[in-house]
Amino acid sequence: MGRWDLVSGDYEPGAWLRGGLYPRRCDLSPDGTLLLAYVRKRTDAGFLEAEAPSFPDTYVTVSKLPWLFALAAWREGSTWGRGYRFVEGPPSARPFVLGDPDAGDATPLLRRYGVERHPVVQYAAERSRGWVEHPDSPPRAAGGPWDEQRSAVLVKPRPHGPGRLVLRDAGMGVTGPSVEGRAPAFELEREGRRLALEDVAWAEWDPQGRLLVATHAGKLELRDPDDARLAVIRAHDLAALRPLPRRAPDWAQRW
């Protein structure tokens, strides 16, 4: 786990998890401090670093980035869930899915944010961040009730500038590197032309309209979308990192 500060450009390493993390079922709080993580990890003595009764092997945790110390957690019990996302707004208007529905905003988490389930649709997390269906995308009916098989196409316009990102999905069961069984291809459309991002496993815009990517080689990069060659402005090479187990610092173990 790590935290990439897009203002300073710094990358801060944090927790290591010997288990499975489902990134497309996770979410980051609007202020960039809290992580909703969908996790699978077998254990007989609680989970992660927090002391707790024995849980099923799949659950959701809320922690402070870049750590996975569970400040809040609830059972999922399987990998069929589609994950959760944070919701802003006044408490009276926020959805509530945790614990007793009569508890109101009694927990530190719910005093800050509401939490709701992702809908059952491909790339639900991306859609919550502004990605929409491309006119060329096959209709939902082609993918069945779980929306897993169709080759969806999503787009996201660039903030504060021309161009847009295109995500083309090849459906489930692809060969080669993938995340949760999917290996989307990304393109940058600008001035009527398409530029394939051939080395990219993930792409997104930052709030200033710069291009953020994670490469298949294990790099995080900030690129200039106005440059003909998409010049790299800043990069962090994570490929050489090796597991370094350590406890979360004190500030990450309390609200």
pLDDT digit string, tens, across residues 231-250: 999 999 999 899 998 999 99
Backbone angles phi, psi at 128, to 5 degrees: -70, -15
pLDDT of residue 235: 95
Total-model pTM: 0.85
| C-alpha to C-alpha distances, 153 to 27, 99, 112, nearest whole angstrom | 21, 36, 34
Mean pLDDT of the chain, nearest integer: 86
Own/partner contacts of 48-51, CB < 8 Å, gap of 24 or more, are 48/17, 49/247, 49/248, 49/253
pLDDT at 227 over 80: yes
How would residue 185 be classed by pLDDT, with cut points 50, 70 and 90?
A: very high
Q: What mean pLDDT is predicted for residues 163-183? A: 84
Relative to beta strand 27-28, strand 232-237 is unpaired
Q: What mean pLDDT is predicted for residues 188-201? A: 91
pLDDT at 203 over 80: yes
Q: Which residue has the higher pLDDT, 142 or 116?
A: 116
